[in-house]
Chain A
Amino acid sequence: METVKLTIDGVEVTAPKGELLIEVCEMNGVYLPRFCHFRGLTPQASCRMCVVRVDKIPKLQTACTMPVADGMVVTTASDEIEDVRSGMIEFLLSNHPVDCPVCDRAGECELQDQTFGFGEDRTRSRFEDKEPTLERQISPFIYNDPQRCVTCKRCTRVCEEWMDEFAITAVNRGSHTVISSFGGWVECSDCGNCVDVCPTGTLLHVPYKYVARPWDLKQTPTICNYCSDGCSILAGTRSEQFIRAVARDGRGRTAGGINNDFLCALGRYTIDAVHSPQRIDRPMIRRGEYLVPATWDEALNFAASKLAEIKNDDGGAALGAIGAARLLNEDLFVLGKFAAETLGTPNADFYHDEDEIDTASFFRYGIPVLATQEHIQNADTIILIGSDPNEENPLTAFSIRWAVRQKSARLLMVNSMPSRLERQAERAIRVREGSEGAVVEALLAPSRIEATAAAAGVGVDDLRFVRQVLLESERVVVIFGDELKATAVEALALFETQLATPSADVATAARNAHLDALQRQVRSTNSTNKPAVNENPFTSIVAHPTLEVGAEPARTSTKFSFVPLFRYSNSLGACLIGMDASLRGGLSAQAMINGSGGGIQALYVVGEDLLGKANGDESHVRTQLGKLKLLIVQDQFMTETAKSAHVVFPSTSFAESQGTQVNNAGQVQLVRRVIPPVGQARPDWMITSSIAKLMGSDFGYQGQVRAIFKEISERVNACAGLTHNRLANEGAIQVSAAPPDSAGIDRADLLARLSAETDRINKEIEVDSSELTAKAGSRLHGRYPLQTRYSEMLKAGDGRESPVVFPA
């Protein structure tokens, strides 16, 4: 990285060239006051708090818009500067209600902090100088108290630049400026990021309104349990209640997290499910038609003795264990160990939905190089196949947008369904449903380009173009989702060798041509398209807008790196630690269900609602489960599956247990216990090992979850050397890749299988060419039924019938 030398308050410092002065000052221990500046947003320069004197420039300068240059001499503290700062604060407070005692932001309010740090202890404005405005609710999740606004526009910039939603805006002019919807409710994906970045109590979370004071909150960093991106959240709890989840920790990011200041609606607003009245609060045993409450001892003994009995009668192979892909590694590991060592059965699997990415295919030849969010943000080219991360993996979608907008990355999309990300794409190819694999084939086998184009219902030119871009790019992140089927997922392993790295000349020429094309993009006033790249001239003042200030852009060692958009928070972890039936030589979860009453006599189901997931096949699954001699269910909620169990154990949610999970970038992260278990719930691993103990095998964990992870790190290569302590201190740690050895792949066979699939595609299916107009996030909410179904907050989000009308 190129650096420059400059002097800040008489001290010479070295800084990355082109970085903003305000960030460089902060890196060197000089904090400059600010409202409008926020890392990751385009410069705004409106609050005038960060003024400094730069030698040779007659006027005071805003440090938030000034890129550092060699030999710059900067003064950040003087009477003149302090005068401006306190003047600006006095201005802001001149029409501010200062109703801190009833303001939810008080205690973590940047206006309070800046006033303490840089303001005066007096004011010349009087009460009658102020103009009160009414507080109002602008969305099911957002309150807005306009009088507290400092008009820093962090909120609107976040909504536009991070979310690409343009859902809120400043309306009116001058001192009457307020943040508002475009009339009626704010129609958006309810990410709540605008609220989080708001420095004052202007935007407030509805569910958190008047619920707690920040200083009463215990704040614990932990990891979100919804999608496979694995965002860090700061869990705020009080009196053993999980009250709020935010991304910000007051000053920047949650320790070691991967999401900077970003969260989505799920991570932020579904936490109330933890305290849902529908939680199972005690163990239950079936007595005839009814499940009746039991003590832990009764229930555990019941389960253990029944399991032992069936094992005795029908043999271990008649037993099966199914775990959910959102359980923590520790839970799944103990479950697998219990199946193998106590039950003596190979039948242990985590539940895959039928239409999910086939994990086994992805890992067939080793652990491919996985791209982290930072890698996505710094990629030259991103190809997105068969998924809409906007709906399913919102953080990944954010990183894609960032890469395109801030770094001019090239985005290629191959999808059968509409996605809002298409407007950011250099080329978005809409293919026939189920034909994403054909495009992969086209990329690998140019001779098949006509056949694949016909199968996918796209133009040959489109496929050639995509292949050409991949060939001439240096670093490519391949992001794929559920729509990419098994063989094609397996074939991704051939990308590195088949689409070789271009020579430096070719890559540079292609890159320049792309930048050139972006420059030449002509826009007209009437264009309805939102800008694909960041054409805000303000951005051009920063050489390399970056979220990781002062850091070298992250690059992978290989040309291709992958982001499999798994459906659940720990799908990848489940594979890594060997909970995949195909690795154990046992029956898959589906096979166990189908074998119920035959080869399978007892099922031990942890955290999964088999009936809820049956997807139209419910009566079949119900019949199958009915044939079992024993169905044990461990869950947080009384699901349909739990209702048909012989014994039910209440288990803890992610908020009540400690453990680890692995996101889709292969990053192991520590989930912390933020509240004690609700009701009589116990962690899943603890319940399992209790049953094991009663059945005669003592795993020796002595109630210590760390001991389980120690064992995992010893047995699972990818986790070698990791401990909970290390994860607590260092944050996310990526497991080492073991990329496929191309010699081990039977290329011809793989391509032949791929061709066969392409030829089977039904060309009658029409290509969906619709535009996405539906509210963003709807699929997102539908995808993760477990807790969202139980979240009153999200339900409130759907009840949008009574829009507030913006007061004139």
Chain B
Amino acid sequence: MIPSPISSHSLPRVDALGKVTGQACYPGDITPNNLLHGKVLFSGQPHARMISMDLSAALALPGVVAIFTAKDVPNNEYGLIMPDQPVMVGLGSSKPHSDVSLWEGDHVAVIVAETELAAAQARDKIEIEWEQLPIVTDVREAMKDEIILHPWHGSNILHKYQIRKGDMAAGWAAADVVVEGSYTLPYQEHAYLQPEAGLGYIDEEGRVTIEIGGQWTYEDQEQVAHALGLPADQIRIIYPAIGGAFGGREDMSLQIVLGLAALRLQERGIKRPLRIIWSREESIVGHHKRHRAVVHTKWGATKEGMITAVSSELILDSGSYAYTSTKVLGNAHLMVTGPYVIPNAHLDSYAVTTNNVPGGAFRGFGGPQGAFAAENQMNKLAEKLGIDPVELRLKNVLHDGSILTVQSPMPPGVSIDQVIERCAAEIGWGDSNQLSVNGHQFSSIQSLIANPQSLCHGRGIACSFKNVGFSFGAPERCEATIALHGQREIERVVLYHGAAEVGQGSHTVLKQMAAAAVGVDISQVELVMSDTATSGDSGSVSASRMTWMAGNSIRGAAEKALAAWASEERPAKGYVRFTPPPTTGYAEETGECMPNFAYGYVAEAVELTVDVETGHIHVDKVVCANDVGKAINPMLIQGQIEGAVVQAHGYSLMENLWVENGRIRNPFFSQYLIPGIKDIPDHVESVIMEIPDPIGPWGARGMAEMPFMPLAPAIIAALHDATGVWFDEIPLTPARVVAKLREHGIGG
């Protein structure tokens, strides 16, 4: 079939009207009759063994309906990549070791009551005796294995990957310059608008049903089914409106406890829906974060600027449970050498268990930590070699067929060179004293009296690549069903799909793609989405994959539906389970593999002003050149670029999670600061490039994580340009900036 073309069209979001008018129902807005209310009790214990638990006072409170604990969970374990976490920590569990809390956010009880207040009061009346166990919160301490947190695993090193390529001795011998760097990267909180909330009930067909915000209905279904010991088809997951995700809803939050409570209540003859809504504080304490990381790395290059060797040791703090840590580690491991040809590489990467908040999925998925090291190294190399950083990158970037550190070729469609050149051109790279925002009055903190003598300006650049879709042999698939209704003409097209609308605009783009694939007007397309009872397995909205994967599945389903239509089937249906080219996991010794089937490419240049006396940084301008392959909806792409830049801006400059002895000390937005309207860059220029991905739908690539990745190193480079000082740790809080500048005799 000759695929029908798609036109770039900034269709307003199909969910926009409901969201801006308040009509859209988020999980916490759904209030069925006869509703019960729930609260979850967290252990509050980074490492402790439960000795006893007394529910009597809590159960005696008026309005308390039931309290469920570890002993009520049929199969008391779960986890996205390995079932290493008890649904609830406590006594009488069906699984060993689950009397030990390894994280302050471990659940110990779910309280069901007639009102939220009664549930909260009962929660506070539960009495637990804990035996304190020694905590491990530093990754290097944890790696000594003096205290082993998961006895069944035998080591706190949850996972290690290594890459051995080429001849390191020869690589170092060929190097005229060597740059060594140690980098420290912080946690990041997802800070989505909607804290976790959900509804649990038994539906009319007797299924345990959970309405919640998530990123992958089928994965939620599988994990709930596993913990409840039920077949998957006895579990139904429905996603209503979801208020943001960014990776933070990939793992379970309330899914299992809601399902458990609904099931157990029914067994007691109580067939009433239950709703739980987390406060912001519960949300911040209760879900994983972007991994904090340390990277030590060394890069060698010839005086002509060709990279000869890279060694690195990267350590992620994966916290108390695995979540997606091994997968995040895989990405960081691949991206720690950047989008460059590295002839000789010796790379070790570790995910390490501690008693801290778990690390997990967050936009970029390990990429930002890797990119931070790689791009800072490139900028430092450029300085040391006296070669322009753009030119240095162009000498070393990957091309079609270039061999990666994992010794396999890049899939076709590599465009990183063009992306860098475009970004450099747009910001006017080269005329370095021609900052486009000259003499900008410092304004980010309105009350600062600008002292022009203390303001310095600088410009920096960085670039990144990021996989699209699941990597390293993880089973990748996306299902779509299309039904064509009508008699002589196609009147109505119904797309059944699992893709979660987390605010990124997937429903809008899916609708556009379905219309194009069938060859009808967008107004003729209806969506039936994100309900395991009606839609197939889409895979998660993650890894910048949904437009790419869903587009391919929709094209396949449309093709089949049109064939059925031609043979007079009414309604004509087409179903496809799309699978992309296979990938493979790292070989143990050398790391050899075919890591990914597709990539996206991005470059960012930053202009900033720093007040060297106070350490405040104001980002004047960001140019982001992002190759999206085909811009199906340019407005949504611009939204993703600007959103990613702002999120990365917070990561780079402000967001400072304070974790002390395994406990988060600032689980509030008054103290964990994300950028406000006055903090964000003055200008973000989205340069949307369209160099087709040979196997993307209509040439489209994934794009939504990419603009996050190079911002922090671009800011570091601009700050260096402004002050002559390299910073190796973010966030660049004013106090950190001042301390370092004063070490160099600046601003004091």
Asked whether A and B interact, the reply is no
Using CB atoms and an 8 Å cutoff, list the residues of chain A in contact with chain B: none
Using CB atoms and an 8 Å cutoff, list the residues of chain B in contact with chain A: none
